[in-house]
Chains A and B, each alone.
Chain A
Amino acid sequence: MAVFYLIIQQTMFFTIPLLVVALGGMFTERGGVTNIALDGTMIMGAFAGIFFISQTQDSMSGTTQLLLAIALAILTGIVFSLFLAFSAINMKADQIIGGTALNLFAPAFAIFAARTFQVNGVQQIEFNNTFRISKVPVLGDIPILGDMFFKSCYITTYLGILILIVATFVLYRTKFGLRLRSCGEHPQAADSVGINVYKMRYSGVMISGALGGLGGLIFVIPTSTNFNADVAGYGFLALAVMICGQWKPVRIFIVSIFFGSMKALAAAYSAVPFLANAPITSDFYKMVPFIATLIIMAFSSKNSRAPKAIAQPYDKGSR
């Protein structure tokens, strides 16, 4: 049973950041802008948050520090995403190229800054993980469920679920959500009824920046003890999750659980007796999530329900 709980806990560590980042991708794409720079955004957010934690860990710890780091990661993500918004919306540049440039920039910047500003001059940023909650009061005592979801967990897990609920509500039940979706489907029509397409698209990109930055931080904290300017291709996996989830929040959640469990298997297989004894190397387990993505994409892309105006710059004058 202990192994089972371990796998469930690990699955949550990998699922929640995927979910959060994929929801970010959903908001920007629903508004009509592709944000392929989500991977870079995660790196920037994780860098800002982890750097903050490692610099303040002598004087701070626990939830307060974590919440401040989260705020910083979100802010960094938003600022970083503004560069994509400017290039894609104002300059009408190719969104994939702009995003690729940002993806090249983020790890270079994170390594450069870590090596320049850390006293020891290395690119890894070490941090003390003081954020693990060994048991949530009351809820942790529930049999089975308590062991699965409310022991040795992080506050970020619940934050992720909260974001899922809010995102679903905002997208389908608010004026903002309706307007954003209309800008991704038919911006000319949206403009004709007085919606400011540029403003809505900026909002979409900035939401993706916020969630991307947050996702980077909450990916690194439970799964590592240092940050090495890398989020293991998670931003790209999140994009795949978003496409498999057909740009719909609840489906994205289901798909991210699937990918999360794949990743958890790759990380924790050595603790599972029959997998550890099987003659399969760790490299193969690391490949599994990516191979699974390809296979699932092959089956789910045929009837893709992508927003119609995706990746097309909006030009007021064009028809």
Chain B
Amino acid sequence: MNLIKNVTAKEGYNKALGSISAILIGLVVGFLVLLLANPANAFDGFITIIAGGFTGGGRGVGQVLYFATPLILTGLSVGVAFKTGMFNIGASGQFVMGAVAAVVVGVHVTLPAPIHWIVALLAAAIVGGIWGFIPGMLKAFFNVHEVIATIMMNYIGMYLCNFIVKETVYNSLKNISLDVQSSAVLPKAGLDKIFVTMHGTYADTSTLNSGILIAIGTAVLIYFIMEKTTLGYELKAVGFNKNASKYAGMNEKRNIILSMTIAGALAGLGGGLTFLSGHSGRHLQVVDVLAGEGFNGISVALLGLSNPIGIIFSAIFISYLTQGGTYLQTFNYMPEVIDIIIAVIIYFSAFALVLRQILPKLKKKLQERKAERVAASEIKESNGGEK
């Protein structure tokens, strides 16, 4: 009993409870949507969503991790900016700019194996960083709201990316980017041997590569920077109270720019990790559509409470749901139902942030009332005894 009390009294528990209740509400809404669209298959469809990535066996789990890789990075990107009190909706643009930088280096530069993909990833992080630096500058020196600035940067990035792909690395037959050189492809690190589904003797391997390891490593690094270094402390201080941190001698403008640049670099790195994956992996498409990874990064950061370690898990969770969505089509449902579920989860997790502050107070009030009642009944009893 005491153990349970200890756990439930912790702040982290309250926080997690908020996220979990939001997830449950999201799933219920998803089920209702399935019921409305086609009642006959709703139950099977819902089971598919719950089973998520497991539906595809070992390969399916690998795919969950493969698609979680960019989400971890865009989630970190949004999360770091959040901690500095800024809302980075621009992860989408930073992501594609990083991606296109990595692909251009991967196709056109010739270097030996490990150096090539490392250089490509660095290019991705730098270009993504520039895409975060610009709105950071605009915010710090011109007071431009970062939400508007990053959204504009998303569209500029999308069109610029299309332009660069068409000019430099274009596979015009498929309207996508060219394959990067084999030396620029991220090593598999044996992960394809683990996450595999056997169809008889045919091994159906997943496209997972060491990108996931780099992503998790980056999350741990960001955790270390935010929690254990002066830089992280300053970034968070600016997020808590801009004026107080200025008064304490911190350069608030510098921190805003730094935070946005780091955020951009993280999202850009995510772009690099996603598109350096060989012939069977993903390629940049020339379409006028914003990259969904950036927006899912917002969901990931909110669900993971902007905590780098939490973000690893929430990214895997979102990817798990999305993979479940791809199997939904066997029941004639559109995979967009997953996006609806995610939107509902975010909507309710915004409440959860508030509920989290109210719940402990409510609990305290209830306890006080209980104590009052006990006291009152004791008085009554003692009065009764006298009579």
Contacts and interface: CB of A to CB of B under 8 A. Distances in A.
Contact of B302 (A97, A301, A302): A97
Nearest to B296: A104
B155 A111 contact: no
A97 B159 CA distance: 26
A283 B346 contact: no
B347 interface: yes
Contact of A290 (B87, B145, B156): B156
A287 interface: yes
B347 A290 contact: no
Interface residues of B, number: 46
B340 A287 contact: no
Interface string A264-295: 00000000000000000101101100110110
B353 A115 contact: no
Contact of B343 (A108, A230, A304): A108
A112 B336 contact: yes
Interface stretch (B51-59, B146-154, B198-206, B247-255): B146-154
A93 B350 contact: yes
Nearest to A40: B343
Nearest to A116: B37
A19 to B, nearest CB: 18
A286 B143 CA distance: 25
B159 A283 contact: yes
A236 interface: yes
A253 B357 CA distance: 42
A36 interface: yes
Contact of B138 (A83, A93, A290, A294): A294
B114 to A, nearest CB: 34
A281 B163 contact: yes
Contacts of B336: 108-109, 111-112, 115
A248 to B, nearest CB: 18
A112 B349 CA distance: 23
A116 B89 CA distance: 30
B151 A283 contact: no
Interface string A105-124: 10111011001100000000
B20 interface: no
A170 B113 CA distance: 67
B340 A94 contact: no
A200 to B, nearest CB: 21
B47 interface: no
A96 to B, nearest CB: 5
Interface in B312-366: 334, 336-337, 339-340, 342-344, 346-347, 349-351, 353-354
A80 to B, nearest CB: 12
B346 A101 contact: yes
Contacts of B149: 294, 297
Contacts of A297: 138, 142, 144-145, 148-149, 152
B143 A301 contact: yes
Given A102-B343, A304-B143, A283 B295 contact: no
Nearest to A281: B163
Given A281-B163, A291-B156, A108 B147 contact: no
A108 B152 contact: no
A295 to B, nearest CB: 10
A298 B153 CA distance: 13
- State which size class the interface on A falls in: 35 or more
B298 interface: yes
A138 interface: no
Nearest to A84: B347
A168 to B, nearest CB: 24
B143 A302 contact: yes
Contact of A294 (B144, B160, B340, B350): B144
A91 interface: yes
A117 to B, nearest CB: 9
A94 B147 CA distance: 14
Interface string A287-319: 100110110011101101000000000000000
A87 B351 contact: yes
B50 interface: no
B28 to A, nearest CB: 15
A230 B158 CA distance: 15
A283 B138 CA distance: 24
A77 to B, nearest CB: 17
Contact of A104 (B154, B295, B353): B295
B35 interface: no
B69 interface: no
Contacts of B288: 232, 286
A192 to B, nearest CB: 25
B17 interface: no
Contacts of A94: 350, 353
B139 to A, nearest CB: 9
A239 interface: yes
A286 B156 CA distance: 8
A289 to B, nearest CB: 8
Nearest 5 CB-CB pairs, A to B?
A108-B339, A105-B343, A101-B347, A101-B346, A104-B343
5 contacts: A91-B351, A102-B343, A233-B155, A243-B145, A297-B138
Given A104-B298, A105-B347, A287-B159, 19 more contacts: A83-B347, A91-B350, A93-B350, A97-B350, A101-B343, A101-B346, A104-B346, A108-B343, A109-B336, A111-B334, A230-B289, A243-B145, A281-B166, A284-B163, A291-B156, A294-B144, A294-B152, A297-B142, A299-B142
